[in-house]
Amino acid sequence: VTEELNSASVGTAAPPSRVSAMIFTRDRTVEDVLRGCLENLVPTAEFIKGTVEMAVEQLAQRASPRLLFVDVSGSPEPVARINELAQVCEPGTGVIVLGDTNDIRLYRDLRNAGVVEYFFKPLVGSLITQAVNSALTGFVEQPSSRTSKFVFVIGVRGGVGATTLATSAAWHLAEELQRRVLLLDLDLYAGDAALQLDAVPTHALYEALERTERVDDLFLERALIPVSPRLSLLASLEPIDGSVIPSEASVLSLLEKLMSRYRYVFVDIPAGMVHSVPQMLQLPSICLLVSGATLVSARDVMRWRAILGPNTPERKTLHILNRTGSHGSLPDAEFLRVVGEPPDITIPYDRAIGIASKLGMKELEKCASLQRGLAPLYAMIAGEPARGQRSMIDRLLRRT
Ligand SMILES: Nc1ncnc2c1ncn2[C@@H]1O[C@H](COP(=O)(O)OP(=O)(O)OP(=O)(O)O)[C@@H](O)[C@H]1O
Ligand SMILES: [Mg+2]
């Protein structure tokens, strides 16, 4: 049952395509209270008679509202459901949870999961109005668990398959796991990610990095290249004679603007740029270090591990050994002896991968050898909680 409230728009009107508020509840009284509260605060409100489970299901399929109310009354594991919800809806959505227990631990856990407020029944209209007001004016100040996860992808040297793996993982998370994903290709002169995703690179990324002060919501709306409903791309194809390496401050500033919009931000970092973004690499993140299986690659892995530093609770490097069995590969045992640690992920050399990557993502997604190899990676990326990126970016930007 869906109804819309026809009330006056307030100053914080959402774009027309986006419903301002969605309410999932089966409780008639709750519905009445919320109708009264929202009438003068949001232009559109959609009431759906359903549980938090239904909210998870629906938001995986459609655009998120600015404000989302979910009723967890009777749910045996409300915090787990809210965490699922956080995975499928845009980080910029303000979530208000309604329930039937007055439990301080539940309250704390829900706040830690990133919800704006938790209210138990009977609802007090004035408190809800207050929460809605502050949610509409202060969206970005959500706790860290509602920010993006960063996945940095670095090839130890050219041609080892970094872009192929970055686009495959970003695509899989968006299409199969229904996460909202952005892929940022920092190789401004190659446009490889766009080629693999069958998208047309634009000049906007270059502009965004050159003049960060221009980047606002409107700019991003135009610059983001929609690949699929859940996957967007930021990629340029600048003239080959250019040689601008974006400054770290501009990359951080761009990441900051992207992180309230996407659950996952993948960054394809050309090897030659790594030295100019040392602070970015220290952000809470997963760093995918992609190598080939040759002796040269094995040596490179050791050198890169030294540059990237040891894993911490917030930052983890995963070594993806790609193209095993190709001409010039070391036997597994020999590779392990040189590197000293087994790879986290192994993907065989398969001509079908090379062919599919030229035909686009739909073909790559069908490559069994690639998908089998990447399956544990998908689980690792999707399972890790996001932590602390926002506060760290704030700190770095203030300093730089
Ligand atoms: N496991 C694999 N088996 C066979 N071919 C592969 C495999 N992985 C990647 N390739 C192919 O290798 C080529 C280089 O891949 P890709 O462009 O992803 O590498 P890269 O590390 O991003 O290179 P660059 O340094 O140019 O950015 C592509 O044609 C790709 O299809
Ligand atoms: Mg590449």
The predicted structure's pLDDT at residue 166: 98
Is residue 349 in contact with ligand 1, taking CB distance under 6 Å?
yes
pLDDT score recorded for residue 386? 60
> Which residue's CA lies nearest to atom 25 of ligand 1?
158
What's 60's DSSP letter? T
Q: What is the pLDDT of residue 103?
A: 80
Question: According to the model, what pLDDT value does residue 296 have?
Answer: 95
CA of 164 to the centre of ligand 1 (A): 6
- pLDDT for the residue numbered 384: 61
Neighbours of ion ligand 2 (CB under 5 A): 163, 192
Looking at residue 111, its pLDDT comes to 83
pLDDT of residue 400: 40
Centre of ligand 1 from the C-alpha of residue 317, in Å = 20
Whether 347 lines ligand 1, by a CB cut-off of 6 Å, is yes
Q: Which ligand is nearest to the CA of 354?
A: 1
192 C-alpha to center of ligand 1: Å? Answer: 10
pTM higher than the cut 0.75: no
- At residue 92, the pLDDT reads 82
Q: Which atom of ligand 1 is nearest to the CA of 354?
A: 31
The residue among 100, 105, 95, 177 whose CA lies nearest residue 143 is 95
Residue having the nearest C-alpha atom to atom 19 of ligand 1:
161
- State yes or no: cis peptide before 122, omega within 30 of 0: yes
- Report whether residue 162 contacts ligand 1, using a CB cutoff of 6 Å: yes
Question: What does the pLDDT look like over 217-247, one tens digit per residue?
Answer: 889 988 999 999 999 999 998 887 767 788 8
What's residue 347's pLDDT? Answer: 97
Contacts for 318 with CB less than 8 Å, ≥ 6 apart: 286, 287, 288, 289, 344, 345, 377, 380
What parts of the chain have a pLDDT lower than 70? Answer: 1-19, 138-147, 242, 384-389, 398-400
